[in-house]
Amino acid sequence: MTKKALLVGINDYAPVGAGGPDLRGCVNDVRDVANTLSVLGVVSPSPRTMRILTDARATRAAIITGVKWLIKGAKKGDVLIFHYSGHGSYVADVSGDEVDGRDETICPHDFATAGMIKDDDLRLLLAGLPAGVNLDIIFDSCHSGSATRATLDPAPEEQVLVSRYIEPPIDWGFFVDAEPSLPVRGLLKSRASEVKKAAVEEAGLNHVLWAGCRDNQTSAETLIGGVYRGVFTYHFCKALRGAGVGITRKRLDAQVSTNIRGAGYSQIPQLEGSKASLVEMVFT
């Protein structure tokens, strides 16, 4: 059985250094996930089994190459993990396959010149994944058109919230914004996920999706213990380390949601997968 992980975290958006729509907690998220997977024995901390892309190295081409590396040679029983922390956005759907008229996206370091990575791109990459492969996709980013909240002035930790959302350029977003009544869906989420459930069952899905927030929300990063972190990733790793890999995905999702709510944050994580995958033990 092969166990591999692709971990992507982007604080520094092009241009390198000050000037891009930069974040602060995404590289810390990657470090937290890498340590958690290593400590729990899920994925060995080796370049052969764990690939890490941060900041300027997390280009569109590098992320796509990383996903191809992750699933190459995958077979039944393998455990694969793709974690992304960074900005999310959307573009107008031109293929007509999205009920909300949007293709949700993640934003590589060079998205302004190379383009975003659409949900259609990821679905195409994953289309040939063999049955029985355990692929968990974890996104700590925004997938909605909600206005961002950001304050960089000194303030109590619970008030320093930055939304991981990029407003799409007018040539990408105008046609979607013209239909404000359309529902907003999350990246790689099925139509079934429009129903607000703690965990969404989707028959035939060839991966499990963990999203940092519901369809119409934003994922936040903030100071936690004096360190900038993604709210979802922090609580996900903390709950997983506490429970170990003997916990089911559904129970872990419930625990993470409870902890985030208890900490006073409004975002609600979303878990999506087949009925069988939701009750399986996580990362096994």
Does residue 261 sit within a domain? yes
Residue 87 annotated among the catalytic residues of the structure? yes
pLDDT-derived band of residue 29, with 50, 70 and 90 as boundaries? very high
Domain of 252, in residue numbers: 3-278
The answer to whether residue 283 sits within a structural domain is: no
pLDDT confidence of residue 178: 44
Active-site hit among 26, 107, 142, 237: 142
In total, how many domains does the chain have?
1
What is the Cα–Cα distance from 41 to 64, expressed in whole angstroms?
A: 26
Question: Averaged over 135-164, what is the pLDDT?
Answer: 56
- Is residue 142 part of the annotated active site? The answer reads yes
CATH of the domain at 208: 3.40.50.1460
In the structure, what pLDDT confidence band is assigned to residue 217 with cuts at 50, 70 and 90? confident
The answer to whether residue 226 scores a pLDDT higher than 50 is yes
Within a domain: 8: yes
Q: With 50 as the cut, is the pLDDT of residue 280 above it?
A: yes
- Assign 203 a pLDDT band (cuts: 50, 70, 90): low
Q: What is the pTM of this model?
A: 0.84
* Paired strand residues for 53: 8
Q: Is residue 215 part of a domain?
A: yes
Asked if pLDDT for residue 119 goes beyond 90, the answer is no
Starting at the edge strand found earlier in the chain, the sheet holding 88-92 runs 88-92, 102-106, 117-118
Sign of CA dihedral 43, 250, 192, 76: positive
Q: Give the pLDDT mean for 150-170.
A: 52
In a domain, 263, yes or no: yes
**Catalytic residue among 83, 87, 143, 207, which?**
87
How many residues are there in the chain?
284
Instruction: Give the pLDDT band of residue 148 (cuts 50, 70, 90).
Output: very low
Q: Distance between CA 163 and CA 222 in Å, rounded?
A: 9
CA dist., res. 88 & res. 167, Å (int): 9
Specify whether the CB–CB gap between 198 and 258 falls below 8 A: no
Q: Tell me: the pLDDT tens digits for 57-80?
A: 999 999 999 999 999 999 999 999
Please indicate, yes or no, if residue 153 is contained in any of the structural domains: yes
Give the per-residue pLDDT at 216: 67
Contact 219, 137 (CB under 8 A): no
- 32 in any annotated domain: yes
Note the pLDDT of residue 201. Answer: 66
Q: Is it true that the peptide bond before 168 is cis, omega within 30 degrees of 0? A: no
Residue 211 lies in a domain: yes
**CA 235/CA 224 separation, integer angstroms:** 10
**67 and 125 in contact (C-beta within 8 Å)?**
yes
